[in-house]
Chains A and B, each alone.
Chain A
Amino acid sequence: MNYIDMHAHMISRTTDDYHAMALSGCLAVTEPAFWSGRDRLGPEAFADYFDHLTTFEPARAREYGIAHYAWLCLNPKEGEDRELTRQVLKLIPAFLERPTVLGIGEIGLNRVTRNEMATFLDHVELALEHHQLIHIHTPHLEDKYKGTRVMIEALAADPRIEPGRVMIDHAEEHTAELILAHGFWTGITLYPKTKASPARAIDMIEMYGSERLIVASACDWGPSQPLAVPEFIFEARRRGHDEATIRKIVLDNPQRFLGQSPKFVAPRPETALAGR
C-alpha cells in the first residue's frame, strides 16, 4: 500500500533506508528540523542544516521516487537557549521561501521550562506571520502530559490559531483525546520504547476514530524503524481493518493536512518506482 511518512529524520538515515521505503510503497516523507544528538555550536550550524534539508535530502529522496518536504525551526531540546533562539529565528524566513518547506516544526517543549515555552511561542508567532502550517513535538515520557496540556492551553487561548492547520505529534493514550477534542491534527509515533507501537496506535484509532489522525515513524539516529508505517499497515490488516480505513490513515489524512500548503503536491502512486 502506498503511504506518506509524515515524520522522518532522513538526514540521520542511510540511502538504503530510502530504498527500503520506496520498495514498501512510500510516496513522500516530511522531515521536521530536530536535535542532532548534541547541541549545535551556533546559529551558522542551523543555516547549514536548513540548507541540507532543502537541497540534499530532496535530491536523495528523488532518486528513489520519493518526494521530500521539510519543516524548519530551532528544536525544543535547544529551545532553552534564548539567545540562540533569537539568532536562529532571524535565519528561518529566508529558508521558508524554498520550494519544499511546508511550515514551522517540530516546535514544542522538552522539559517544559519557561524558556522553552517562550521559544515555542516565538515560533508560533513566526508561523502566523508567514502563514505557515505548524508541526508540534510533544515532550517525552513523564513530561508528555504536562507539555501537551500547557501548549494546548496556550494555542486555544490565541484566536489567531486555526487548529486545523496545526499537527500535534507524538500523541499517546493519555494525550490523544485531548488533542483531538481541541480540533488539532494528531500524530501517533511508531517508535520503540518511548512512544507507541503499531498495536497501540490501532487501539487509539479504534477508540477515537480516524479523523485528523496520522501515524509516522519519526525514524532518526536513535533505535527506530524507517518501515514503521508499513509495519502499522501489516498490523492493521491483522486486526481486521479494511483497506479504505488503513489508506485513510497512511495516505489520505497526510495529504489532507499537508495539502493546506500550496507547496505540497499530492504524490501520484503511478509515479512510484516500486511498492504499488
Chain B
Amino acid sequence: MNVHAETCLLTQAQLLDLSFMEHRAHLLAIAAFLDRLERAQDAAQASDDFRLTALRGALHELVSPESGRVVRAQMRLSDQDLTLLDLRGSQSAFGAPQREAGPHSLDSEAEQ
C-alpha cells in the first residue's frame, strides 16, 4: 500500500509526456558513466571504491517494485552512524559513506 498514492496531481500519461525524455537522458548518462569507468586506465583500481559501491546499491533501488525508492537510494548514499567524529578528516563531503552503518539513537524509527 503506497501511503502517498495519488498525491501527484498529474496522470501517469501526463507525467510521461512532460518528463520522459529528461529522465531517459539521465538514465543513459549513468549507463555511459558506468561504461566509461570500465574503459578507464587501470580499470580495476577503483572497482571497490566506496562511492561506486554506494552508487551500485542505489541503482538496485531504482528497479525495486516498492515505492520509496528515492528515500532508500538516499540512505544508501548516507552515513548512518550517528556517532560524532573526534577528528574531522576533510572539510568537504564525498557523496557516499565511508563508514559501515553504526549506532543509531532514534531506534523507534524505521531506518531502511
Contacts and interface: CB of A to CB of B under 8 A. Distances in A.
Interface of A: 77, 80, 110-117, 139-146, 149-150, 153, 172-174, 178, 199-200, 203, 206-207, 238-241
B39 interface: no
Contact of A142 (B8, B95, B106): B95
B81 interface: yes
B76 to A, nearest CB: 10
B105 A173 contact: no
Contact of A206 (B4, B90, B91, B105): B4
B93 to A, nearest CB: 4
A153 B74 CA distance: 20
Contacts of A200: 70
Contacts of A142: 54, 77-79, 93-98
Looking at chain A's contact residues, is the secondary structure mostly helix, strand, loop, or mixed?
A: helix
A153 B85 contact: no
Given A112-B84, A239-B9, 10 more contacts: A110-B88, A111-B89, A139-B93, A142-B54, A142-B78, A143-B93, A146-B79, A150-B84, A199-B19, A240-B9
Contacts of A174: 71, 74-75, 78
B78 A146 contact: yes
Contacts of A141: 77, 93-96
B86 interface: yes
A200 B106 CA distance: 26
Contacts of B54: 142
B64 interface: no
Contacts of A207: 4, 7
Given A150-B82, A199-B19, A111 B90 contact: yes
B8 A206 contact: yes
B87 interface: yes
A143 B79 contact: yes
Contacts, number: 90
A173 B74 contact: yes
A146 B87 contact: no
A140 B93 contact: yes
B85 A113 contact: yes
Contacts of A149: 82, 104-106
A266 to B, nearest CB: 29
A221 to B, nearest CB: 15
A149 B87 CA distance: 19
The 9 closest A-B pairs by CB, nearest first: A240-B9, A174-B74, A145-B78, A141-B93, A206-B7, A113-B85, A140-B93, A207-B4, A141-B95
B95 to A, nearest CB: 5
17 contacts: A77-B91, A110-B88, A110-B91, A112-B84, A113-B84, A113-B88, A115-B88, A140-B92, A141-B93, A142-B94, A149-B106, A150-B105, A172-B74, A173-B74, A174-B78, A238-B18, A239-B8
Interface string B42-61: 00000000000010000000
B9 to A, nearest CB: 4
B63 interface: no
Contacts of A110: 88, 91
Contacts of A178: 109
